[in-house]
Amino acid sequence: MARCLVTGGAGFIGSHLTERLLDLGHEVTVLDDLSTGSRENLAAVANHPAFRLRVGSITDPLLLTEVMAGSEVIYHLAAAVGVKLVADDPVRTIETNIYPTELLLRQAVQGRQRVFLASTSEVYGKNPKERWTEEDDLHFGATTRARWAYGCSKAIDEFLALAYHRKFQLPVVIGRFFNVVGPRQVGHYGMVIPRFVDQALAGRPLEVYDDGGQTRCFGHVQEVVECVFRLTESSAAHGEVFNIGSDELVTIRGLAEQIIAKVHPGLAIRYIPYREAYGEGFEDVRQRVPDLTRLRTTLGMQPSRSLSDILDDVIAWKRSQPAGDQT
Ligand code: NAD
């Protein structure tokens, strides 16, 4: 059984990963500053004897070095997350997503620790291909458009991780998450499914940005964390980049319609221009679909739960939350 560190473990994906690792019998330390995560996300494991929470920032080099020292495997998920948060505070994005990753990788070389690095489909930027493979080009917009700071910061993390793998044989796996959804995801940072479900449960029109014709694929968080764990365990995956998510495609308009049908038939859809949601000059990505061949070939599996099933799970979780928490 391994001693694991999960940075960002009080967040949406990190808390599910923490639960899974503890279920498998591992020891888990979470390092999280609770900026977008919360203690409630870890309520189910708070009293587990193999679990420990350190509240603090990955931007504190002494703290990061200290918590890493006792670990054999490091899952690095802490980051400034979400298109809205990033557009609002690009400095925080760069500071959180780049310097600490470099320090973490350097320390991991010294400690011979295995590392999983959470990256994102945002690194593909505006690549016009219908389906993205890990070897495709990255197409970012201008540096004057703050939203690209997120994808760029994660791309730099990837370059760093691959460089440390090549130069020092660091056993590191890079996972590019596509849209991940499930219980505990919140809508404050622009995440579309929790936002739509909140609006539907409140009986309000669903606010779809632009014309709603943009497409996305949504993977269930429990299947995504299973891939994360298996990839990190697999030596064949070390030094490689993997798309992780579902490849079931839906338009945002179609997504809104499915949620309305499940929660509150008859609700209207309100179309909002991007500039109203994110400010002037915002650019979105029209289509975002992963090619999962590499993931399937390496693990023999891929996330396969249907969107309808995922929506049922999120809606049931939202309904179980105390009134007033459905934001
Ligand atoms: P989240 O906001 O729920 O989790 C991020 C966690 O990091 C939070 O608990 C937050 O408090 C913590 N954190 C932020 N800054 C920190 C700091 N300076 N020090 C310590 N902790 C800090 O978001 P998530 O959706 O669970 O994302 C987890 C990872 O997955 C991130 O790296 C994100 O970029 C990546 N990702 C997520 C998605 C998705 O669809 N949810 C898609 C692509 C990539």
Q: So where are the chain's domains?
A: 3-180+220-244
The whole model's pTM is what? 0.95
What is the CA(160)–ligand 1 centre distance, in A?
19
For 3-180+220-244, CATH number out of 3.30.465.10, 3.40.50.720, 1.10.287.80, 3.20.20.105 equals 3.40.50.720
Residues 6+ apart with CB under 8 A from 235: 171
Specify which residues 55 forms β-bridges with. 32
Q: Cα–Cα distance between 271 and 186 in angstroms, integer?
A: 21
Q: Strand 206-209 and strand 172-177: pairing? A: unpaired
Q: Cα–Cα distance between 232 and 17 in angstroms, integer?
A: 12
- Which residue among 13, 181, 189 is best mutated to probe the pocket of ligand 1, counting the most ligand atoms within 8 A of its Cβ? 13
Ligand 1 atom closest to Cα of 34?
A: 11
- pLDDT value at residue 324: 52
What is the CA(204)–ligand 1 centre distance, in A?
28
- Where in the sequence numbering do the catalytic residues fall? 150
- Write the residue with the smallest CA distance to atom 4 of ligand 1: 11
Residue 255, ligand 1, Cβ within 6 A: no
Specify which residues 218 forms β-bridges with. 179
Ligand 1 atom closest to Cα of 154?
A: 34
Q: What are phi and psi of 45, to 5 degrees?
A: -115, 0
What is the CA(261)–ligand 1 centre distance, in A?
30
Q: For every one of its 327 residues, what pLDDT tens digit does the chain have, with 9 covering 90 and above?
A: 999 999 999 999 999 999 999 999 999 999 999 999 999 999 999 999 999 999 999 999 999 999 999 899 999 999 998 767 777 888 888 889 999 999 999 999 999 999 999 999 999 999 999 999 999 999 999 988 888 888 999 999 999 999 999 999 999 999 999 999 999 998 776 689 999 999 999 999 999 999 999 999 999 999 999 999 999 999 999 999 999 999 999 999 999 999 999 999 999 999 999 888 877 777 788 899 999 999 999 999 999 999 999 999 999 999 998 765 544
Ligand 1 atom closest to Cα of 150?
A: 34
Residue 38, ligand 1, Cβ within 6 A: no
